[in-house]
Amino acid sequence: MSPLLSIQDLKVAFRMGKEGGQMQRALAVKGISFDVPENGTVALVGESGSGKSVTAMSILNLLPSNAEREGRILFQGRDLLRASTRELQAVRGKDIACVFQDPMSSLNPVFDVATQICEPLMKHLGMSRCQALVRAEELLHEVGIPEPKRRLRAYPHEMSGGQQQRVMIAVALACSPRLLIADEPTTALDVTIQRQVMELLARLKDSHKMSLLFISHDLGVVGEISDRVVVMRHGQVRETAPVEQIFNAPQDAYTKALLACRPSLTENPARLMVIDDHIAGRAASTAVKAKDANAPVVLEVTGLQKSFWLKEGLFGRREFKAVKGVSFKLRRGHTLGVVGESGSGKTTMGLALLRLHEQTGGTLAGQVLFDGQDLLKMGGADWQRMRRRIQVVFQNPYASLNPRFSIGQTLREPMEIHGIGADTAEREALAIALLRKVGLDEAAMAKYPHEFSGGQRQRIAIARCLTLQPEVLVLDEAVSALDVSVQAQVLNLLKDLQDEFGLSYIFISHDLAVVKFISDEVLVMQNGDVVEQAATGDLIAAPRQDYTRRLLGAVPRGYVGRPGEARGI
């Protein structure tokens, strides 16, 4: 039986401009081949820059204009590489549909949900507006959106990340495509929503009898949804095999390294293996450094509350309580992990204790004692001096660095504001030393953020915090957007910096496996309340609350079946 999609010796290069009269090209995909069978799920796996997304976007030629493709892309026997723009437009959304990583940038913010689902129905199937609205409501119900008729009138910003991704899936399924391309559809979602989306994709694949090309950097995720896995690195296929073989008997050293990089709920290494460690045969460090249980308390939070005023009706408003009385103690050199689903209040709590929410309206109450002083009551010069001692690293390294500043300017600016260093030369030397601490060299000083990968940008953001010699870092989903190998590097870096400088961390995350690796104590939040708080090992081994058990149960564990057994997610 012929495969639905067959990619044969695909090469993709990008024109980079002329140098010395010659056109320079960067080869991103270097002659890869694989098949996607009818009603099957194939996963493309690899680190950022491996070429997996470029490969997937080549199928419908969704690449920028400087891309050049060679080889064959056969869909139902027709070579899409030779198809005209008009022919591709007829295929896009009808026979082959895509679900992308970031639904907020994929959905049009100025159109409501109904308009965006109706568009492909009217364009490809010739439905009237009324017919398309009926079908759009059915699709929203099918993907699990509550009150689908009412939600048709909603705009993307009025929905959560999980709901936005469900709308994207509804748009993709509108014309019952034969092939669905899902490009990192769960990367930015918390573990419970991630599991819901994975279950939804598996169920819809079976009910619509379609094939699925699933792209991810996380083997733990693809092990639960795919039939066959294609492992890519540097634009080449390193290994392709059934999912059970990839997990039970991987052949390529790179595949083994990817499996070893991700934090585990069952193991407790001192450092995570990175790709180069595994390929070089270096053993993982298992000796975990003991923390001082009697270390001094650097931050004591009591009854922290934060609420927001929401408009209701024409002139009314109501109070939304996002954080409802959080209390904890953070000791020097220790890490407090804060976990919960999206909307649990964990990020609001972190920003509230830093007073980054106080200008947005609503109540900010409680006590945040830092070095014996209440941060919530400080003002003027006292607050300015205290700010340098408690810093924050945000989730998105692409948005948290000023694109107009060179890395040198980015690192020098906070030192100039707070009077650190005698002159520019001394600040320059401090900045270079910090870059080396986070694994970058002096050459980075003259470059700009767009010249670095996501992992490198996050390292620069950490270096910027360290310029102020802080005592506490609030890390808000600081590794959730990174692929597993870069994530391991940043987590190892954070542990090294903590050991060297005695830093204390508040580590906010939706990923319990990551939190287990780096945290000494875990605080679990739901709907603004703390529902459980315990030492990390105790909480993972014996959670007391059903909510915590549900979070643990949602962590992807990879392939757990045996060859020949039926698998469900």
Q: Which two tokens stand for residue 519?
A: 């945290």
Q: What's the chain's average pLDDT? A: 89
Question: 424-437 vs 454-466: helix axis angle to the nearest 10?
Answer: 130
Three state DSSP letters for 83-152:
CCHHHHHHHECCCEEEECCCHHHHCCCCCCHHHHHHHHHHHHHCCCHHHHHHHHHHHHHHCCCCCHHHHC
181 bridge partner residues:
98, 213
Q: In Å, what is the CA distance from 79 to each residue of 70, 73, 281, 346, 380?
A: 11, 5, 43, 49, 67
Confidence of residue 490 (pLDDT cuts 50, 70, 90): confident
| CA distance linking residue 425 with residue 133, whole number of Å | 64
pLDDT at 569 over 80: no
Amino acid at 38: E
Average pLDDT over residues 484-500: 88
Q: Is the pLDDT at 359 greater than 70, yes or no?
A: no
Q: What percent of the chain has pLDDT over 90?
A: 57
Q: Given this chain, do its domains 1-16+25-95+216-261 and 297-389+472-478+504-555 carry the same CATH topology?
A: yes
Residue 258 has a pLDDT of 87
Q: Buried b vs exposed e over 365-378: b needs ≥16 C-beta within 10 Å? A: ebebbbeeeebbeb
SS3 content of the chain, % helix, strand, coil (to 5): 40, 25, 35
Residue 117 makes CB contacts below 8 A (sequence gap 6+) with: 132, 135, 136, 139, 140, 152, 167, 170, 171, 174
Q: Residue 89: is its pLDDT beyond 80?
A: yes
Banded model confidence at residue 188, pLDDT cuts 50, 70, 90: low
Q: What is the rounded distance in angstroms from the CA atom of residue 251 to the CA atom of residue 481? A: 28
The residues that bridge with 72 in the sheet, in sequence order, are: 8
Whole-number Å distance between alpha carbons of 266 and 35:
35
Three-state DSSP class for residue 468: coil
Which ranges in 393-501 belong to alpha helices (H)? 407-417, 424-437, 454-466, 484-501
What distance lies between CA 443 and its chain's CA centroid?
A: 28
- Return the percentage of the chain with pLDDT > 70, whole number: 96
**pLDDT at residue 560 in the model:** 60
Give the pairing type, strands 529-535 and 521-526: antiparallel
pLDDT, position 568 = 38
Backbone φ, ψ for residue 402 (5° rounding): -70, 115
Structure confidence by residue, pLDDT tens digits, 424-439: 999 999 999 999 988 8
Strand-by-strand arrangement of the 5-19 sheet: 22-36, 5-19, 67-75, 78-79
Q: What angle do CA 301, 305, 306 make, to 5 degrees?
A: 125
Where does residue 75 rank: exposed (0-12), middle (13-18), buried (19+ CB within 10 A)?
buried
Bridge partners (DSSP) of residue 160 are: none
Q: Residue 194: which pLDDT band, with cuts at 50, 70 and 90?
A: confident
Q: For residues 188 and 101, is the Cβ–Cβ distance under 8 A?
A: yes
Tell me what the mean pLDDT of segment 14-38 comes to.
Answer: 92
Compute the C-alpha angle 559/562/564, nearest 5°.
120
How do residues 361-411 score in pLDDT, each as one tens digit?
788 999 999 988 999 998 888 888 888 899 999 877 778 899 999 999 999
Greatest alpha-carbon pair distance for the chain in Å reads: 74
Distance CA 423, CA 259 (A): 47
Is the predicted pLDDT of residue 565 greater than 60, yes or no? no
Provide the pLDDT for residue 311. Answer: 78
State the pLDDT confidence band at 358, using cuts at 50, 70 and 90: low
In angstroms, rounded to a whole number, what is the distance separating the alpha carbons of residues 301 and 486?
Answer: 32
Query: pLDDT of 259-296, one tens digit each?
Result: 888 888 888 788 888 888 888 777 766 666 778 889 99
CA angle 479, 480, 481 (to 5 degrees): 95
- Is the pLDDT at 567 greater than 70? The verdict is no
Convert the pLDDT of each residue in 214-266 to its tens digit.
Answer: 998 878 888 888 999 999 999 999 999 999 999 999 999 999 888 888 888 88
| Cα→Cα distances 129→116, 138, 155, 177, 223, Å | 12, 14, 18, 21, 40
User: What is 1-16+25-95+216-261's CATH topology?
Assistant: Rossmann fold (3.40.50)
| pLDDT tens-digit readout, 527-554 | 999 999 999 999 999 999 999 999 998 8
Name the nearest CA neighbour of 45 among 238, 281, 278. Answer: 238
pLDDT at res. 16? 86
DSSP assigned state of 282: P
pLDDT of 39 above 90: yes
pLDDT single digits (tens) 400-426: 899 999 999 999 999 999 889 889 999
The amino acid present at 305, given as its one-letter code, is Q
DSSP string covering 150-201, please? Answer: HHTT--GGGS-HHHHHHHHHHHHHTT--SEEEEESTTTTS-HHHHHHHHHHH
Which residues sit opposite 367 in a β-bridge? 302
Secondary element (H or E) of residue 75: strand 67-75
In this structure, are residues 483 and 430 in contact, taking their beta carbons and an 8 Å threshold?
Answer: no
Tens-place pLDDT, residues 66-75: 999 999 999 9
Contact 12, 67 (CB under 8 A): yes
Instruction: Locate the domains of the chain by residue range.
Output: 1-16+25-95+216-261, 297-389+472-478+504-555
> Token pair 């892309």 is at which residue?
73
Q: Class of 297-389+472-478+504-555 per CATH?
A: alpha beta
Give me the mean pLDDT over the 91-104 stretch. Answer: 87
Amino acid 58: pLDDT = 95
Q: Strand, coil or helix: what is 51?
A: coil
User: What pLDDT is attached to residue 563?
Assistant: 39
301-356 confidence digits (pLDDT tens)? 999 999 988 777 778 888 889 999 999 999 999 999 999 987 789 989 999 999 88
